[in-house]
């Protein structure tokens, strides 16, 4: 493939679009964007944010992309910022269209957004270890010729990483774009696929700050060849990442060590939680590389309701996986509270 030319992937109706260019020109008097020259509650707002809230945000989130690029050892034009990675999934499906292929069970938004945009989507069951069923997936790739494949690794809600060689087999055989969604990569022992982007031009990686302490900011990013980023950028709304989120994310990323230490604490608690769950009769936890654990039990929905009565909310996944609940790893105190409530609910403790 001629690297750099990604327009063949793009839907015909999008192909000829140009990415929106907000003019950015240094000037003394800025009167081009219909902003207000006034700043209501200026002192309060400055104290809160120090940002001129009367002006539009940087449309290209340049500082943030520079910082992320440095961290990940890639170029800023290989990054596209989204209002959460959800928004980037939306943009990917708008730009490239369907059929959209993904293994199931997986993150629900791939299917929901495909439906919302009227694109065909195909879910292929994972194998019994929740890994990619290579035979079935490759057959679906051949049959449906998907424009997009989404692979969440670590996978939500199962928690495991897919085998790298199976992911790469799909990337090699797919004629469309394969997106590896690494929302939970920071919690994983796997290095992830960013270092391999150079070798696989039809692969892209999704990351997010949501699972590592900044869910409220809504900051996600797509990583891939600059030609691919350019195509998706054609459908991005110009000011999709607001100024407060850009500034807060920059500050947050500056303190890599704080993020790292929280991620480590969660990974270590995940180990402890797994052992606790595994030791409980009637509870079957699945190994996890993410910040949650999926477990199955006899009557998941009844247990879910009992936990609610103890003040604990977990996610009932029994719609997707028989009798399965998904619990997010909390602080040690929260996890103890959950374990005690679970012992009580399953009758292992008075
Ligand atoms: C949570 C999650 C997302 C969404 O992340 P946002 O950046 O908050 O939109 C994307 N993919 C997977 C697999 C997730 O679990």
CATH number of domain containing 220: 3.40.640.10
Residue 43 lies in a domain: no
Q: Based on the domain organization, do 76 and 135 belong to the same domain? A: yes
Instruction: Please report which confidence band the pLDDT of residue 149 belongs to, taking 50, 70 and 90 as the band edges.
Output: very high
What pLDDT sits at residue 350? 46
| Rounded distance between C-alpha atoms, residue 195 and residue 200, angstroms | 10
Encoding tokens for residue 254?
């500056």
Residue 164 pLDDT greater than 50, yes or no: yes
In this prediction, residue 349 has a pLDDT band, given cuts at 50, 70 and 90, of low
Kindly report the protein residue whose alpha carbon is nearest to atom 15 of ligand 1.
Answer: 156
Per-residue pLDDT, 348: 65
Q: Is 242 in the pocket of ligand 1 (CB under 6 A)?
A: no
218 and 286 belong to one structural domain: no
Q: Are 125 and 176 in the same domain?
A: yes
Residue 297: pLDDT over 50: yes
- pLDDT at residue number 52: 87
Q: What is the pLDDT of residue 12?
A: 85
Element (H, E) at 177: strand 177-181
Is residue 167 in some structural domain? yes
43 DSSP 8-state letter: H
- Pair (106, 24) in one structural domain: no
Mean per-residue pLDDT, 256-285? 95
Q: Average pLDDT in the 149-163 region?
A: 98
Q: Tens digits of per-residue pLDDT, 67-105? A: 999 999 999 999 999 999 999 999 999 999 999 999 999
Mean pLDDT calculated for residue range 186-196: 95
Distance 153 CA to ligand 1 centre (A): 11
> Do the bridges between strand 177-181 and strand 79-83 make them parallel or antiparallel, or are there none, so unpaired?
unpaired
Q: Which of 254, 286, 304 corresponds to the end of one domain?
A: 254
Going by CA atoms, what residue is nearest to atom 11 of ligand 1? 183
**Helix (H) or strand (E) segment spanning residue 205:** strand 203-208
**d(Cα 9, Cα 91) in Å, to the nearest integer?**
13
Query: What is the average pLDDT score of the chain?
Result: 93
Contact indicator for 185, 154 with CB cutoff of 8 Å: yes
Going by CA atoms, what residue is nearest to atom 5 of ligand 1? 85
| Stated pTM of the model | 0.94
Ligand 1 mean position to 233 CA, how many Å?
Answer: 19
> Domain range holding 24?
7-38+257-345
Compute, in angstroms, the gap from residue 105 CA to the centroid of ligand 1. Answer: 15
The answer on 137 and 217 residing in a single domain is: yes
Kindly report, residue by residue over 15-71, the tens digit of the pLDDT: 888 887 777 788 888 877 767 777 777 777 777 778 888 999 999 999 999 999 999
Please state, in angstroms and rounded to a whole number, the distance separating the CA atoms of residues 207 and 205.
Answer: 7
Ligand 1 centroid from CA 138, angstroms: 25
In this structure, the answer to whether residues 281 and 134 fall within a common structural domain is no
> 280 and 329 share a domain?
yes
Is residue 236 pLDDT above 90, yes or no? yes
Ligand 1 centre and the CA of 183: distance in Å?
A: 6
**Average pLDDT in the 310-333 region?**
95
Ligand 1 center–CA 156 separation, angstroms: 9
Q: What total of structural domains would you count in the chain?
A: 2
Rounded distance from Cα 42 to ligand 1 centre (Å): 35
> What is residue 152's predicted lDDT score, i.e. its pLDDT?
98
CATH number at residue 266: 3.90.1150.10
- End position of a domain, from candidates 254, 276, 295: 254
Question: Would the CB of 208 count as within 6 Å of ligand 1?
Answer: yes
DSSP codes joined into one string, 96-165: H-S-EEEEES--THHHHHHHHTT--EEEEE--TTSS--HHHHHHHHHHH--SEEEEESSPTTT-PPPPHH
Q: Are residues 66 and 207 in the same domain?
A: yes
To the nearest 10 degrees (0 to 180), the angle between helices 226-233 and 85-96 is 90
If asked whether residues 193 and 275 sit together in one domain, one would say no
Does residue 320 lie within any of the structural domains? yes
CB of 106 closer than 6 angstroms to any ligand 1 atom: no
Q: Is the pLDDT of residue 140 over 60?
A: yes
Do residue 338 and residue 304 come from a single domain? yes
Q: Is 217 in the pocket of ligand 1 (CB under 6 A)?
A: no
Task: Verify whether ligand 1 is closer than 6 Å to residue 85 (CB atom).
Answer: yes
User: What confidence score (pLDDT) does residue 97 get?
Assistant: 97
């Amino acid at each position: 493939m001629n690297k750099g030319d990604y327009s063949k992937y793009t839907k015909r109706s999008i192909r000829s679009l140009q990415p929106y260019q907000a003019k950015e020109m240094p000037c003394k008097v800025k009167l081009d964007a219909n902003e207000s020259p006034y700043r209501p509650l200026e002192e309060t707002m400055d104290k809160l944010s120090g940002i001129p809230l009367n002006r539009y945000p940087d449309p290209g989130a340049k500082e943030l992309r520079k910082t992320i690029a440095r961290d990940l050892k890639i170029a800023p034009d290989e990054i596209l910022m989204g209002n959460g990675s959800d928004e980037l999934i939306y943009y990917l499906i708008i730009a490239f269209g369907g059929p959209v292929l993904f293994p199931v069970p997986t993150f629900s938004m791939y299917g929901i957004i495909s439906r919302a945009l009227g694109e065909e989507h195909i879910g292929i069951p994972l194998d019994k270890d929740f890994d990619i069923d290579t035979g079935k997936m490759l057959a679906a790739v051949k049959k449906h010729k998907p424009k997009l494949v989404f692979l969440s690794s670590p996978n939500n809600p199962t928690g495991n990483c897919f085998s790298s060689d199976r992911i790469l087999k799909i990337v090699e055989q797919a004629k469309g774009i394969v997106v590896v969604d690494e929302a939970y990569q920071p919690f994983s022992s796997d290095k992830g696929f960013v270092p391999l982007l150079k070798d696989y031009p039809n692969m892209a990686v999704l990351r997010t700050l949501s699972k590592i302490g900044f869910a409220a900011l809504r900051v996600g990013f797509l990583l891939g060849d600059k030609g691919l980023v350019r195509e998706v950028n054609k459908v991005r709304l110009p000011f999709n990442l607001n100024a407060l989120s850009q500034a807060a994310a920059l500050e947050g990323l500056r303190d890599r060590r704080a993020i790292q230490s929280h991620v480590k604490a969660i990974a270590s608690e995940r180990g402890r939680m797994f052992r606790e769950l595994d030791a409980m009769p009637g509870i079957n936890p699945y190994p996890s590389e993410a910040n949650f654990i999926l477990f199955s039990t006899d009557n998941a929905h009844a247990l879910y309701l009992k936990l609610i009565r103890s003040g604990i909310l977990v996610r009932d996944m029994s719609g997707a996986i028989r009798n399965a609940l998904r619990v997010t790893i909390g602080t040690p105190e929260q996890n103890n509270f959950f374990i005690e409530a679970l012992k009580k609910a399953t009758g292992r403790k008075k």
